Chain A
Amino acid sequence: NAGVTQTPKFQVLKTGQSMTLQCAQDMNHNSMYWYRQDPGMGLRLIYYSASEGTTDKGEVPNGYNVSRLNKREFSLRLESAAPSQTSVYFCASSGGQGTGANVLTFGAGSRLTVL
């Protein structure tokens, strides 16, 4: 019962480098999300995908791109990393209708440091 799997767990980048965070879920969920967590700010939504083939911006999309590769996978790409993107990134997924659609299952997180 893997749930939501994120890779890598840790990454250190230099300013200007690019990287992709990978996320996969095995629960047949329609919706997937990328959040970032910063101290004292809770979790902020970067992008989400309500279904395969669709993506939408969240609260803090600048500097990021996403790809919903198929129903299972949702990747987050930093094209030119900046120190302000140092954060812990969480992927989540949800399925069902109505309030069931709001019960998110989270991955363990990816800690990214940009020097």
Chain B
Amino acid sequence: AQSVTQLGSHVSVSEGALVLLRCNYSSSVPPYLFWYVQYPNQGLQLLLKYTSAATLVKGINGFEAEFKKSETSFHLTKPSAHMSDAAEYFCAVSRMEYGNKLVFGAGTILRVKS
């Protein structure tokens, strides 16, 4: 079975600092990987997705993620945090042999301090 682990349920950064949210997947075959963001009292929105076309994926709002097969990781970064980035972030994985169903990590709540 495939799964995804997000390290750190809460991350706190200062405004303007680097954001790094960690995600590792368990799969012998590179899967499709996704990052979603959930703002308070809203549904989830897609930030970016990895589909094997390029290992560095750029998403919305200045976020990007790098797929590293050797480390089975897909960490999310942003060079400079904004107050508006405060939200919960979810890493997700899917594979075609599992019907393309998304399996989500437990989520990481990002807090941005002024």
Contact = CB atoms under 8 A, between A and B. Distances in A.
A complexed with B: yes
B113 interface: no
A35 B92 CA distance: 13
A99 B46 contact: no
A90 interface: yes
Interface in B71-87: none
Interface size class of B (residues with CB under 8 A): 20 to 34
Interface string B86-111: 00001000100001111111110000
A58 B104 CA distance: 13
Contacts of A56: 99
A107 B94 CA distance: 20
A44 B100 CA distance: 14
Interface string A83-99: 00000001010000011
B37 to A, nearest CB: 11
Contacts, number: 57
B43 A99 contact: no
Contacts of A44: 104
B90 A102 contact: no
A42 B105 contact: yes
5 contacts: A90-B44, A99-B51, A106-B43, A108-B43, A109-B43
B101 A103 contact: no
B49 A103 contact: yes
